[in-house]
Structure 1
């Protein structure tokens, strides 16, 4: 027992004499996983707050709606029909609101009237050129000149350039009329059918009135 005690005391003295920089350091226990995860979340949150880029929301596939230009009001017609330059608003024209009609069709060649903003027809444009190139817009542009605020119109047999609102009644060479939309066509067919029914009903009533009165039989 005495020898063992002496050995322990010697060992303790040796350890005490070891320099501080040569002592074996015992590693500290690792940080818990939960604490590391919390630190990562906090760092990501700070990065999000410091990011100057605006946040954008991704639209799911199939949710995008195709944008279409609104047509002229169904059931309403231009009266009178105007054509005008590129600065003139398109829509249903009236005597007080001179809007340019953008739903025109030629009753002579049965072609839809095309429009070219900020352009006018070159003097060399002629009937044969339109006949061969209508309705190819790229080919038609070879006879167009850039002209601010003007608008060039053309079908397969006629062409016209204007700046101010122009009443088509003052241009008898242009056989252009407002193209009837589906809603107006359905209303017109319905009116014709109602008128036809009313005519038949009036005819039946008239024929009944022409019949001689029926006298009661005598007993």
Structure 2
């Protein structure tokens, strides 16, 4: 019972305080003509400016010079081991992309050199064993000059340079190369 009485007393105090402050605000007359109004406005503006410059200094407005630029392949390719890995540019430098990502399962693509996939590699196998390279290796066979690619939902083996847009079953993109 004492707790209830104390709670009611607190509620009455809060109610009285709220009424008093509201009445004080309504009864006060603020004048823009007072000599302190200009000074008050200047103080408020300076305070806001100091807060702004303190938290958003000039160094945040400029690009970070330490941050490396990233680029996507102009045409994303897959390729066998005779094709170098890297960033494929418009200047006829064709490379097999080594930064592939799958947009279906949202995972990076794993690449196996001089390997091809055995029959029986399905979605369930990839889903269960990705990204463990040792477990995935169970379904690989040695295939000189070939690369075996996989994510958590799709796999493919390639020996020649192939643009990704010619492989509609793959939902892979270049995940950007740091320069």
- Alpha-carbon shift at residue 93 of structure 1 (Å): 1.1
Instruction: Work out whether 1:103 is the aligned partner of 2:99.
Output: yes
Deviations 1:38-91, CA, capped at 9 Å, x for gaps: xxxxxxxxxxxxxxxxxxxxxxxxxxxxxxxxxxx9433211000101111011
- Counterparts of 1:1-219 in structure 2, within 5 Å, are 74-94=69-89, 96-180=92-176
Where in structure 1 are there 5+ consecutive unaligned residues?
1-72, 185-219
Highest RCO, 1 vs 2 (Cα 8 Å, sep ≥ 6)? 2
Of 143-152 and 85-94, more deviation after overlay is shown by: 85-94
SS of alignment partner, residue 131 of structure 1 = helix
- Alpha-carbon shift at residue 124 of structure 1 (Å): 1.3
Find the aligned partners of 2:97 and 2:75 in 1 and give their Cα distance: 10
Find the aligned partners of 2:144 and 2:114 in 1 and give their Cα distance: 5
Which has the higher Rg, Structure 1 or Structure 2? Answer: 1
Find the aligned partners of 1:140 and 1:131 in 2 and give their Cα distance: 10
SS of alignment partner, residue 139 of structure 1 = helix
RMSD: 1.7
TM-score normalised by structure 2 residue count: 0.59
Higher strand share: 2
TM-score normalised by structure 1 residue count: 0.48
Q: How many residues align?
A: 111
